[in-house]
Amino acid sequence: MHLLIVIGVVLAFLADFRWADLPGAVDWHTIITLTGLLILTKGLETSGYFDVLGGRLIARFRHERALALFMVLAAALLSTFLTNDVALFIL
């Protein structure tokens, strides 16, 4: 993490842009959407919903291989309609 911060600072000084233009280069709609999804996911985790859902999935599938296959197929199906990060947040 520290290495990424150092690289970011070095690149910020080497890049050809004005500091006043920096906020315009950020896609704030995407940042706000991802932040909302993270908050929603953390709320579901804190409420214990994922524990209940995980217990139901384990009871439904008899083998780990079947459960893993279901998770991969569910992620693939969701990512056809949603972006990959949203599909993984749901799973």
26: its two tokens: 């950020």
Instruction: Give the residue, 89 or 76, on which the prediction is more confident.
Output: 76
SS3 (DSSP) at 62: coil
For residues 70 and 19, give the distance between their C-alpha atoms in angstroms, rounded to a whole number.
47
Residue ranges covered by each domain of the chain: 48-91
What is the overall mean pLDDT for the chain?
A: 84
Contacts of 78 (CB under 8 A, 6+ apart): 86, 87, 90, 91
Measured from the Cβ of residue 75, the count of other Cβ atoms closer than 10 Å reads 14
0.75 exceeded by pTM: no
* Length of the chain measured in residues: 91
21: its two tokens: 């233009």
pLDDT in tens, 10-41: 988 888 778 787 788 888 998 898 888 889 88
Q: Is the pLDDT of residue 1 over 90?
A: no
| Percentage of the residues of the chain whose pLDDT score is greater than 90 | 25
